[in-house]
Structure 1
Amino acid sequence: MSNLDAPISMVRPGVIEFGAGVAERLGTWAKGKGYRRVLVISDAFNASRAALLGLAGEVSVFGEVKAEPDTGDLDRVLAAAESANADLIVGFGGGSAMDLAKLAAVLSGSAQRLVDVIGAGRVAGPRRVALAQVPTTSGTGSEAGIRALVTDPGTRAKLAVESIHMLADIAVIDPTLTFTVPPKVTAATGVDALAHCVEAFTNRKAHPAVDIYALEGARLVGRYLARAVRDGGDAEARAGLSLASLYGGYCLGPVNTAGGHALAYPLGTRWHVAHGAANALIFPHVLAFNTPAVPDKTRAVLEALGLPSSDKIGSVFEAAHEFCASLGIEMKLGQLGVPADDLRVMADDAFAIRRLLDNNPRDLSRADILAIYEAAY
């Protein structure tokens, strides 16, 4: 599958700082830009170490971000942004913190509300405040992207916003910030980064300009994820995963994910399974399912991960499943608190996520989705 002659748009944050110890460069950059009122959006743990960013002036911290944030969480963040009257908003944490920071940056001080901007290209710009992103996990790649997701608690559906106005002015990627991530979270978020790369690589909209990042991201995960799970202080492994996550973020803008993420989302919105863990559990099933449509690319993925090359569905599943299970990832839905009688509703939810399913290289029917959930149970 090659779309070499297809038009593609690629964007990156204006400044990218990458490497051990670069976190404090954010403060230097902000001072040079003259930003004096800063709002840091983070979870409780990262709120306690916001000083590492070297920020000066009036620094407020909203430290109540939780996994899988919903519209109520966004409302609280927007209230904090209004109170801080910030000229710089910083997302400091995992994908949840960075997504909320994106939305706060475009909605604070704007006449638009969330309902007005759901979808692609609906944010009125330019935004009023600057935006910085500092990831503390290696998975989402949200620091490099222009999409943000929050959950509607009423429908339990993900609400997706896509806009060039949510692109960060600066992304500061310091792998040392990920040293404290526990082994199980390291494993799950690492496979999330892998899923971003693989779903873009095998996508109907796949493009050689993105494939190069996707395949190298997969190689980095194959080379370094197990090492980081074994030793969280392995600086080289952490840096490799941080780069893999960034490359996954590069894939999300012009190509995006596909069936794997569509099937993973209901696990988070309905049963609060962490995004990385949900994607890791689903990953082998969808990779194997898609094999007949993209056999050459599937072989390339397995080779990148250091796994036996194959274009047979059963062999692909076994290799990918063992890769994830060997990292200590829970690979059974039933062990994550998901009740068997909810699988049909989850299949309905996943089948409705056309913005992702329509990217999948092989059509996934509702029956196919239910069969995957049942196999994963």
Structure 2
Amino acid sequence: MVSLDSPITIVRPHLIEFGVGTASRLGKWAEDKGFKRIFVISDAFNASRVDVLELKGDVTVFSEVTPEPDIANLDKVLAAAEQAKAELVVGFGGGSAMDLAKLAAVLGGSSQTLREVVGPNKVKGPRTVALAQVPTTSGTGSEAGIRALITDPETQAKLAVESILMLADIAVVDPALTFTVPARTTAATGVDAMAHCVEAFTNRKAHPMIDIYAIEGARLVGKYLARAVRDGNDAQARAGLSLASLYGGFCLGPVNTAGGHALAYPLGTRWHVAHGAANALIFPHVLAFNTPSVAEKTRAVMEALGSSVSDDVASVFEAAYGFCETLGIEMTLSGLGVPKDDLDAMADDAFAIRRLLDNNPRDLTRADIRSIYEAAY
């Protein structure tokens, strides 16, 4: 773990509008900035309610965002962006829409290809269009971050692009947009937001400047997630989760996630398990595995989630597993349709994600990963 005097760089969207009913503020902001050509990137459902943003001028809506977007989906977005010739790009949806919006903002009209910008700080500036992000789920925190993930269908691996040039000019976080999210999705995405916070809090790169967001994000999930699952129209609970997701996004830039996300990714790339559901299933296994290396912080996490645990790995696992299971989340790989004969390939894929595994507070060997998948089966 790093110490209080360790250098760290914190980034935020230049403007954050937060609270129920704020979605329409994007239109006013865009009008004040003089943007007349606007390109909205969304999925089919959210495209049908783009009017809530009150955008004026020539608005083009791309409505074909897919979960866990791949290179082909990005190519479609870039082709549509080229036609729109927008001054403002808007990501309107979950993490998939917002990640595609980041890439459209920096690759549209650029001579660089996706392959040339994979990795940290490879995007060449300046960015020529403005970028706005409007999340409609409480999970990824992508509205606050500078990373975008795209699946390579050939390798079934995530390609990660990181650049300060993908930071939003404005993020509009309106919890009312999440009222329609089904209970099961609310549960999974809420645990994803919490996993961002927990993995940052227990990370080898954990920093006191980020810890305050991380532990508060976990506390918000512990307080409000079950309420939102029970009643999707509970405005206070939805706002609590939206804030937790935003705080998780704050954690991702300077610290990032670790082993939990590394093990979750193959579920999405190989078997198209929703990102939130994958993280929820893996969360208790990796949290328990890491406990011997970060016992004090693990206790703080479980207290934030409403459970008192000892340093015993079994008690941590049982409490974390119970937290997820009582939300109605499927907690077995077999229940998600993952075939057992794919566990070895999944372990190979996860073990290759060094950008995340190297952050984990306890070394995860390939055998450890395989054992976790076996236990989760």
TM range (shorter): over 0.9
1:278-297 CA-partner distances (Å, limit 9, x unpaired): 00000000000000000000
How far, CA to CA, are the matches of 2:325 and 2:3 in structure 1? Answer: 34
Matched with 1:167 is 167
Q: Any idea what the Cα deviations from partners look like across 1:299-331, whole Å, max 9, x if unmatched?
A: 000000111232110000000000000000000
The aligned amino acid for 1:282 is I
Query: What residue in structure 2 maps to residue 357 of structure 1?
Result: 357
Q: Partner of 2:8 in structure 1?
A: 8
Are 1:105 and 2:105 counterparts?
A: yes
Q: Judge conservation of contact 1:26–1:54 (CA < 8 Å) in 2.
A: yes
Alignment match, 1:94: 94
Distance 1:87 1:64, change over 3 A: same
TM superposition shift of 1:2: 4.5
Q: State the one-letter code of the partner of 1:208.
A: P
Give a deviation string over 1:242-279, Cα, whole Å, max 9, x none: 00000000000000000000000000000000000000
Opposite residue 360 of structure 2, the aligned amino acid is N
SS of 1:35 mapped into structure 2: coil
CA contact (8 A) 2:62 2:77 kept: yes
Structure 1 counterpart of 2:257:
257
Whether 1:323 and 2:323 are equivalent positions in the alignment is yes
Residue equivalent to 1:271: 271
Amino acid at match of 1:6: S
1:146 paired with 2:149, answer: no
Matches of 1:238 and 1:5 in 2, distance apart? 36
Residue aligned with 2:318, SS: helix
Give the structure 1 partner of residue 218 of structure 2: 218
Q: Is the 8 A contact 1:39 1:89 kept in 2?
A: yes
For residue 147 of structure 1, what is the amino acid of its counterpart? R
TM-score under structure 1 normalisation?
A: 1.00
Unaligned runs of 5+ in 2: none
Contact 1:152 1:159 in 2 (8 A): yes
Deviation at 1:3, TM superposition (A): 2.1
TM-score by length of 2: 1.00
Contact 1:298 / 1:310 at 8 angstroms: preserved in 2? no
Aligned amino acid, residue 358 of structure 2:
D
User: Does structure 2 retain, via aligned residues, the 8 Å contact 1:267–1:273?
Assistant: yes
Partner of 1:245: 245
CA distance in structure 1 between the aligned counterparts of 2:3 and 2:159, rounded to whole angstroms: 29
Would you say the 8 A contact 2:309–2:319 is kept in 1?
no
What corresponds to 1:371 in structure 2? 371
Question: Which amino acid in 2 is paired with 1:101?
Answer: A
Question: Aligned with 1:371: secondary structure?
Answer: helix
Residue matched to 2:341: 341
Aligned length: 377
Which amino acid counterpart does residue 182 of structure 2 have in structure 1? P
Q: Work out the CA distance in 2 between the residues paired with 1:251 and 1:3.
A: 16
Match for 1:354: what amino acid? R
Tell me the SS of whatever aligns to 1:41. strand
Question: Is the partner of 1:291 in helix, strand or coil?
Answer: helix
Q: For 1:19-70, what per-residue CA distance to the aligned partner results, in whole angstroms no more than 9, with x for missing partners?
A: 0000000000000000000000000000000000010000000001010000
**C-alpha distance in 2, partners of 1:337/1:82?**
39
Of all paired residues, the percent bearing the same amino acid is: 77
Paired with 1:321 and 1:213, the residues of 2 have a C-alpha distance of: 23
Aligned to 2:202: 202
2-side partners of 1:319 and 1:74: how far apart?
40
For the aligned residue pairs, the C-alpha RMSD in angstroms reads 0.5
What's the CA shift string for 1:164-184, capped at 9, x where partnerless?
000000000000000000000
Does the CA contact (< 8 Å) of 1:300 and 1:309 recur in 2? Answer: no
